[in-house]
Structure 1
Amino acid sequence: MARKIGSRYTAHQILGRGSAGTVWLGEGPEGPVAIKLLREDLASDQELVSRFVQERTALLGLENPHVVSVRDLVVDGNDLALVMDLVRGTDLRTRLDRERRLAPEAAVAVAADVADGLAAAHAAGIVHRDVKPENVLLDMQGPLGPGGSHPALLTDFGVAKLIDTPRRTRATKIIGTPDYLAPEIVEGLPPRAAVDIYALATVLYELLAGFTPFGGGHPGAVLRRHVTERVVPLPGIPDELWQLLVQCLAKAPASRLRASELSARLRELLPMLAGMGPLEVDEPDAEQEDDAPEESPASAEPAREPVRRRGAVPLVPGAKPADSNRDTHTSMRVPAPDELAGGARGTARAPRASGAPRPGSARNRAAARRRRLALGAGAVALVAAVGVGSWLAAGDDEDGTGPQDTRNSAPASP
């Protein structure tokens, strides 16, 4: 059912839903548009509405080929909406759900486009604060780029900042999506441009691997990993690309590249990545499978394990676990220092080469059991050999035919 948004726009059809609001296909004076209608409870917050109006000039002035431009901001009764360019395509999350991971050339091309958009935003003093695959749109009508990638555009600028009001989050809360939060946000520091670089590097890692470097399990464990754990290398990744990822995933914000530098470095790597297929890597488990059934010793082949994708525990009551990573702008408690200092069980996150047994799985335990049996048999054989040797030596001494020690004896008389 169509509905009016302000005096100039009409919303016709829902395109998608998020925790901050609903995106509609709409019509305006200049043609089709996308309208992000924020939740009613947000629209009734006068402090947020005031901030919304204050951000109007900055958001309307942000223009870049890799940014979904904001055309208008509407404040009308209970309606609070951003009117944006309509991108004919899909979002990066949908493509990841379909393909699981991208070839390195395509992944780097997408990340370079997003870095271009971030460079323009940062130059205008705008920090996105919620860079993730759901907020990257792929223009299916644009020209194909390296690796057959479609042009990537970053959307939802300003929404996280609008919602993150002091009264709504207080000093003990943080806003964002756990898998992509920079360590300084987890520690309660104000978000600067470097948080977007960290989030984009996390997205690039996910495009290459099919999973994020620190995600999986309870949100508290995810936040702790961002602060305490180092990213683990991916099997088969070119060293130049890996070093770039490590620099942009640095715990210290000052160690990361600026968006313009990251874009330039990524594009320099594209020629060496041409023709590479997707990485062959299996994602790590958040926790060991203690209740996995043991493999039968008589089985000729190890049982095939079901492929399971990690998903965060839902942060919004009633949300489905499979969709929990789509929840955005979720308020979370800042972990205390003692919580960040401890290591949670099962947070070792070394990815495995494709086909390698999963730690704690039936295949892994069976292999370990075979190794123990082999070692045990070897030890028994060694003990038996030593025992036989000792028995032979003792026998020689007893019957007088064994070798005699003549080092200190005098020569025999003729």
Structure 2
Amino acid sequence: MARNIGSRYTAHQILGRGSAGTVWAGEGPDGPVAVKLLREDLASDQELVGRFVQERTALLGLDHPHIVGVRDLVVDGNDLALVMDLIRGTDLRTRLDRERRLAPEAAVAIVADVADGLAVAHKAGVVHRDVKPENILLDMEGPLGPAGSHPALLTDFGVAKLIDTPRRTKSSRIIGTPDYLAPEIVEGLPPRAAVDIYALATVLYELLAGFTPFGGGHPGAVLRRHVTETVVPLPGIPDELWQLIVQCLAKAPASRLRASELGVRLRELLPMLAGMPPLDVDEPGTEPQPEPYREPTPEPAAEARRRGAVPLVPGAAPADSNRDTHTSMRVPAPDELAGGAHGTARAPRAPGQPRPGSARNKAGGRTSGASGPRPGGVSRAVRKRRITLGVAGLALAAALGVGGWLAVGDGESTPPARDSRHSTPTP
């Protein structure tokens, strides 16, 4: 469906949609053009339109092989449009989605092209403020460069500045794409040329690794990483290239290279990158979410024995022998400590269950159990029972001896001699 843009241009096919508007393929007096028709809410803001008109001269003056040239600015009723050169190709995001990551030589050649374009813009006093793969076009009709890469052109100059006006945004709002925002923007400082260098270095990292250095998760977490975290190294690339990336991702804007320096340095590295395959890098996961606390479930005794863990004291939960912890321990009672320095633990006793090692008979006496004495010593209670039984036995033996003397004696004052080894007292 064709539509007129002003009096000189006709848009007849939608090429894509973005956050700021819709891009159409169209025709003009000088041939094919691309028309970026901005959102209606932008076009209806007269203050914003006036500001954009003021930028017209600077945008029309950006003439470079690696910048998508702006031919005209149209303000017609509710239409606010940028008329640009039509590039036959695709954007870098589409290529990344298809290939995930590029060979280092191709990635560096593309970024060097964009750096050359930024150098011209920065010299003219224009800051892009939204460098990202979506705003980098690949000209499929242009001459092939290193590693068969197509010429790269930067587009959408001035759009981020157009949207970010004091009237339309609050001081606490950040305009831009979180993955590519420089730390100084996150901290509320005015954007200078260095923010484009930081964003372009982020694009280079993404072309090599397949992911951005600080992306992933909630946008707030991404912004925090830009300010607080250091970039994770990429294995398998020359140290000269890595140091270049680190310098351009520096937190301090003054530490970064200028666009002209970056373009030159990148092209110097191209010979050593020839023939190098894409990196084999695993994408890091998103921030793990903390699991809610759950009370530990006691293990069955059989499972505890299988793992080699035993309770430290009777009634305590089995301790994990692989952990250095005191949370599952309780202070033992004095009688539990009386079994010697190396006493083993016993299983908890159910109510009414007799203690192992002794059983009480119906007559109230004790019968020795089958478990025998515990290794490592005899408890105080057992020693006390043995002493009591010994005294009772001696008293019984003495009583039996006196009774026998009274029964068979003939009035003699001393009992007859007895061999205690062969006597069998009768209870």
Residue in structure 2 matched with residue 348 of structure 1 by the alignment = none
Residue in structure 2 matched with residue 336 of structure 1 by the alignment = none
Q: What is the deviation of 1:220?
A: 0.2
Are residues 1:174 and 2:177 paired? no
Are residues 1:69 and 2:69 paired? yes
Residue in structure 2 matched with residue 111 of structure 1 by the alignment = 111
Aligned-pair Cα RMSD in Å: 1.4
Q: What is the deviation of 1:144?
A: 0.6
Residue 42 of structure 2 aligns to a residue whose secondary structure is helix
Residue 243 of structure 1 aligns to a residue whose secondary structure is helix
Cα deviations by residue, 1:2-49 (Å, 9 ceiling, x for unpaired)? 000000000001000011100000100001000000000100001110
Look up the equivalent residue of 1:176 and give its one-letter code: G
* C-alpha distance in 1 between matches for 2:184 and 2:215: 17
Residue in structure 2 matched with residue 139 of structure 1 by the alignment = 139
1:322-401 correspondence to structure 2 within 5 Å? none
Residue in structure 2 matched with residue 127 of structure 1 by the alignment = 127
Q: What is the deviation of 1:288?
A: 3.4
Residue in structure 2 matched with residue 364 of structure 1 by the alignment = none
Cα deviations by residue, 1:164-202 (Å, 9 ceiling, x for unpaired)? 110111222110000000000000000000000000000
Residue in structure 2 matched with residue 194 of structure 1 by the alignment = 194
Look up the equivalent residue of 2:152 and give its one-letter code: A
Cα deviations by residue, 1:326-378 (Å, 9 ceiling, x for unpaired)? xxxxxxxxxxxxxxxxxxxxxxxxxxxxxxxxxxxxxxxxxxxxxxxxx97xx
Cα deviations by residue, 1:135-156 (Å, 9 ceiling, x for unpaired)? 0000000111001100000000
Residue in structure 2 matched with residue 260 of structure 1 by the alignment = 260
Q: What is the deviation of 1:287?
A: 2.3
* C-alpha distance in 1 between matches for 2:101 and 2:285: 17
* C-alpha distance in 2 between matches for 1:74 and 1:52: 11
Q: What is the deviation of 1:286?
A: 1.3
* C-alpha distance in 1 between matches for 2:100 and 2:72: 35
Residue in structure 1 matched with residue 250 of structure 2 by the alignment = 250
Residue 208 of structure 2 aligns to a residue whose secondary structure is helix
In structure 1, stretches of 5+ residues that fail to align are: 292-374, 377-414
Cα deviations by residue, 1:95-125 (Å, 9 ceiling, x for unpaired)? 0000000000000000000000000000000
Residue in structure 1 matched with residue 374 of structure 2 by the alignment = none
* C-alpha distance in 1 between matches for 2:64 and 2:8: 25
Q: What is the deviation of 1:226?
A: 0.2
* C-alpha distance in 1 between matches for 2:206 and 2:155: 19
Residue in structure 2 matched with residue 29 of structure 1 by the alignment = 29
Residue 169 of structure 1 aligns to a residue whose secondary structure is coil
Look up the equivalent residue of 2:74 and give its one-letter code: V
The alignment's TM-score, normalised by the length of structure 1, stands at 0.70
Residue in structure 1 matched with residue 97 of structure 2 by the alignment = 97
Are residues 1:207 and 2:207 paired? yes
Residue in structure 1 matched with residue 299 of structure 2 by the alignment = none
Q: What is the deviation of 1:290?
A: 8.1
Residue in structure 1 matched with residue 49 of structure 2 by the alignment = 49
Identity score, percent: 88
* C-alpha distance in 1 between matches for 2:248 and 2:84: 30
* C-alpha distance in 2 between matches for 1:233 and 1:52: 41
Q: What is the deviation of 1:235?
A: 1.5
Residue 114 of structure 2 aligns to a residue whose secondary structure is helix
Q: What is the deviation of 1:289?
A: 8.0
Residue in structure 1 matched with residue 332 of structure 2 by the alignment = none
Residue in structure 1 matched with residue 229 of structure 2 by the alignment = 229
Look up the equivalent residue of 1:242 and give its one-letter code: W
Look up the equivalent residue of 2:194 and give its one-letter code: A
* C-alpha distance in 2 between matches for 1:287 and 1:215: 11
Look up the equivalent residue of 2:11 and give its one-letter code: A
* C-alpha distance in 1 between matches for 2:68 and 2:254: 28
Cα deviations by residue, 1:260-313 (Å, 9 ceiling, x for unpaired)? 00000000000000000000101101123889xxxxxxxxxxxxxxxxxxxxxx
